[in-house]
A and B are shown apart, each in its own frame.
Chain A
Amino acid sequence: DTEVTQTPKHLVMGMTNKKSLKCEQHMGHRAMYWYKQKAKKPPELMFVYSYEKLSINESVPSRFSPECPNSSLLNLHLHALQPEDSALYLCASSQDSRDGQETQYFGPGTRLLVL
């Protein structure tokens, strides 16, 4: 089973709202990722968690706040977003076996629209 689940599938929020995106995997993976994907573009890495610790933050604005409560869950808290933040947000996970041969498995994404 290589399934990564994400909720919600779609989200519409105003610029003053606070919302959260959720991601879950039960493959025993210890690395989890958030990507942002604009239309007709490749995914852009936002954050990487390794063994529940934030290991990479790609200079993402503070209005995006990741959280990894345990090894199976990854959240992305959203606050005071801008319309240009509208995108498909993808979660991925990988084993993080430290031998470098990592395969990332992606969830279906959350389509976010900021009004």
Chain B
Amino acid sequence: AQSVTQPDIHITVSEGASLELRCNYSYGATPYLFWYVQSPGQGLQLLLKYFSGDTLVQGIKGFEAEFKRSQSSFNLRKPSVHWSDAAEYFCAVDHGGATNKLIFGTGTLLAVQP
């Protein structure tokens, strides 16, 4: 069965520091991969996605992610974190079949220190 693992439940970084959030997936073929961000009490906002092609994907708000097939990973990065980036981040996988079903990781809560 497909699964998504986000090993870090909670991360704290200082404002201006770099950020990397980890995501590993378990799936036989190349999946479609997503990162969403959720501020408290809000819906999910799409940050970026990977379907095929260039393995380094640029997203909104200065985020990027790199698909590494050999490591089954799709880690999210940002070179300089802003206080407004504090939120919950979800990695998700869609196997691309007919069911349009997203499998979410458990999420990583990002706190930003001034």
Contacts of A92 in B (CB 8 A): 44
Residue of B nearest to A107 (CB): B43
Q: Which residues of B contact A45 (CB under 8 A)?
A: 101-102
Chain A residues within 8 Å of B, Cβ to Cβ = 2, 4, 6, 31, 33, 40-43, 45, 48, 50, 55-56, 88, 90, 92, 94, 96, 98, 100-109, 111
B90 within 8 A of A: yes
Cβ-defined contact, A90 with B44, below 8 A: yes
Pairwise interchain contact A48-B43, C-beta atoms closer than 8 A: no
Starting from the known contacts A90-B43, A102-B96, 5 additional A-B residue pairs (CB-CB under 8 Å) come to A42-B106, A48-B100, A56-B101, A100-B98, A101-B96
Find A56's partner among B49, B99, B107 (CB 8 Å cutoff).
B99
Q: How many residues of B contact A (CB 8 A)?
A: 25
CA distance A45 to B79 in the complex (A): 33
Given the interface contacts A42-B106, A106-B43, does A94 sit within 8 Å of B96 by beta carbon? no
Q: Does B17 contact A (CB under 8 A)?
A: no
**A96 CA to B106 CA, complexed, in Å:** 26
Known pairs A42-B104, A90-B44, A109-B42; A103 contacts B99 (CB<8 A)? no
Contacts of B43 in A (CB 8 A): 4, 6, 90, 106-109
Complex Cα distance, B101 from A96, in Å, reads: 11
Using known A-B contacts A48-B101, A88-B41, A106-B45, determine if residue A42 contacts B96 with beta carbons closer than 8 Å: no
A2–B106 Cα distance when bound, in Å, is 25
B63 within 8 A of A: no
Distance between A111 CB and nearest chain B CB, rounded to angstroms: 7
CB–CB B102/A104 < 8 A: yes
For B114, the chain A residues whose CB sits under 8 A away are: none
Chain A residues lying within 8 Å of B97, measured Cβ to Cβ, are 100
Whether B44 and A31, one on each chain, are in contact in the complex, defined by CB atoms closer than 8 angstroms, is no
